[in-house]
Structure 1
């Protein structure tokens, strides 16, 4: 009798459970944003949310590029930089689940050209030279760097000191990548039988986060020496402040060391006294081979074929144009991979050679007299 009773109760429980399960269903989801693909803007909020069509609740899970970021019914997504993002949503209960995926494309912000735009530099964002004979003088000062802004006739000039010293500037619009050369950068090289070049490497960046500051990824415009076996990638040099009129010593990440030497024409500290670190200064980049030498009794520093500023390049036809030109199609990332850039917003120029020269002429130090957008 007892066994019969237990069997009966088990049957009743099974029947009740089966009926209850038959009445349940997988989540019936109402997504507030339909579709699968959308385009948005940097710093513009997208309000994702999911509701129920039948009044029955369920669990929520939102993922951003595969990482769980919310378990509530909604998720507000505000992209802080350009890119492609995958937003995944999953609803679940004891019976089943429902999933949906969004692809959000956020283009690089572009500052359009207006009737009042100029093709010349409008902002110098940063100036940090390496040690050199002109540093802490007029053309090697923070005030001197600002003078290349809007200089239509290139009457002003800023010096970048030894290897790695740099200046960062921009325009009042995004520079568009068009067919052929896109940028002109002015220097003061000398051509002829006794050339004097002080080659500077050019890098470019896009305002991917839309904040108007050059704090996004940088890309080198690879010139003629980029694949030269003597060129050293990912080079680092550290200068030590002598705290006075004395040679500036350096060490590098290749095990090398040396000095940038003072001369009798510039009797002051060659280390930038406006650098934030007044003990040591570490600068990084691509180190170009030295072209220092003599032509007869005259000291020279020969130019490269193309792709560097302050260089009397024959391949760039500096003699005719009076500037070095640069194509945004030359852009490569830190691994040497070509990068397709439709526009750029910031330009960085730094001294590409580590050459102390001599006490008569001083070190090889890239000079910048201005720049222009060749697309205007």
Structure 2
């Protein structure tokens, strides 16, 4: 009898052990409320992915966003405040195994539609480099504000690096062909006088209405040219007088923005936040300053620059330089896809002192226009 009870007890232990083993031998498998690996979302709006266990035993769930644990709930819900691509990893684990699924959340900024004008609505910043017109028209704050709402104002950006940033009362959408027009005042050959400016664009990725997001250069015809210098840096030093403004760059060069007899005010911007020195960085285009048949000229490039008499841009007909958002590149030169842009920056892209008659090379613009407005 004792032997009977012993074997019965042993059998009971084995049966319970088998039941426990059966309870943890099946790994979890899940399905989801979205059927694509990339989920599109918009900043400030909730995005949700629901998980549903379709087989396997119970498992612990974890959602990981860009390497950081976000949630342990069955459903993932999050509001993203900055546009970009986010890697979201779902993990379900039990003693039998792990189930994983990765999603990419493509968070887009809000595209501001509508608007009342095709022209610039607001100047965000004006910081010119030294130049012969700085501190007087067209190189002062009033001149910068004068390009708002029209294409007939005039503001100078001074020597290399001087810039202006502006916005419209709506986003400029990336559609077929050119998207943006910038008006300048170049002269056509044979008295060719272009002062090329590079154009950069930015989206309001964080939705705060401030141009503090990533900038992208709109690559023009010279972007890949052997004479173009990327990551150029120049520093101007304030002489605190009507005097030449010295500079040094990161290429081992030095020089000066030289004064002339026609403009006798100080050439260093007196409204700059730093009254000791100014530093500008960007892409430097090769100089095109010289003489042709005894006439001083500064030749333009084929296309892709502001205030340039561009044959490839058909400036003769349009009277403006046109820009395609599809030509946006990041800091490493890689093309980026932008559905729309909210901010524009233009800066002088050549470093040449010119001469006592013509003054330094300094980009000038009269206004800008959304080429798709009302269409």
Against the structure 1 CA distance between its residues 98 and 194, is the aligned structure 2 distance closer, same or farther, given a 3 Å change threshold?
A: closer
Deviation string, structure 1 residues 196-229 (Cα, Å, up to 9, x no partner): 1111111222223333222222222222222321
CA RMSD of aligned residues (A): 3.2
Tell me how far 1:279 sits from its aligned partner.
2.1
Equivalent residue of 2:86, what SS?
Answer: strand
Does the alignment pair 1:221 with 2:218? yes
Task: Return the match for 2:340 from 339, 343, 354.
Answer: 343
Aligned to 2:92: 91
Tell me how far 1:364 sits from its aligned partner.
0.6
Does the alignment pair 1:316 with 2:309? no
Q: Which moved more, 1:265-274 or 1:17-26?
A: 17-26
Indicate if the aligned counterparts of 1:36 and 1:101 stay in contact, CA closer than 8 A.
no
Aligned to 1:176: 173
Equivalent residue of 2:191, what SS?
Answer: coil
| Residue pairs, 1:157-176, within 5 angstroms | 157-176=154-173
| Residue pairs, 1:85-164, within 5 angstroms | 85-114=86-115, 117-152=116-151, 154=152, 156-164=153-161
Equivalent residue of 1:306, what SS?
Answer: coil
Q: TM-score, normalised by structure 2?
A: 0.84
Deviation string, structure 1 residues 47-104 (Cα, Å, up to 9, x no partner): 6677999xx9854422113x13236437652222333333222233445444444443
Deviation string, structure 1 residues 230-266 (Cα, Å, up to 9, x no partner): 1212211111222222221111111111111122333
Against the structure 1 CA distance between its residues 264 and 11, is the aligned structure 2 distance closer, same or farther, given a 3 Å change threshold?
A: farther
Against the structure 1 CA distance between its residues 70 and 179, is the aligned structure 2 distance closer, same or farther, given a 3 Å change threshold?
A: closer
| Residue pairs, 1:55-74, within 5 angstroms | 59-65=60-66, 67-70=67-70, 72-73=72-73
Equivalent residue of 1:329, what SS?
Answer: helix
Task: Return the match for 2:280 from 276, 283, 286.
Answer: 283
Equivalent residue of 1:242, what SS?
Answer: coil
Does the alignment pair 1:264 with 2:265? no
Indicate if the aligned counterparts of 1:236 and 1:284 stay in contact, CA closer than 8 A.
yes
Alpha-carbon separation, structure 1, partners of 2:339 and 2:46: 25
Tell me how far 1:363 sits from its aligned partner.
0.7
Aligned to 1:360: 357
Structure 2 portions without partners, runs of 5+: 1-7
Structure 1 portions without partners, runs of 5+: 1-7
Alpha-carbon separation, structure 2, partners of 1:262 and 1:177: 42
Q: Which moved more, 1:181-190 or 1:363-372?
A: 181-190
Equivalent residue of 1:190, what SS?
Answer: coil
Task: Return the match for 1:306 from 286, 298, 303.
Answer: 303
Against the structure 1 CA distance between its residues 40 and 351, is the aligned structure 2 distance closer, same or farther, given a 3 Å change threshold?
A: same
Aligned to 1:247: 244
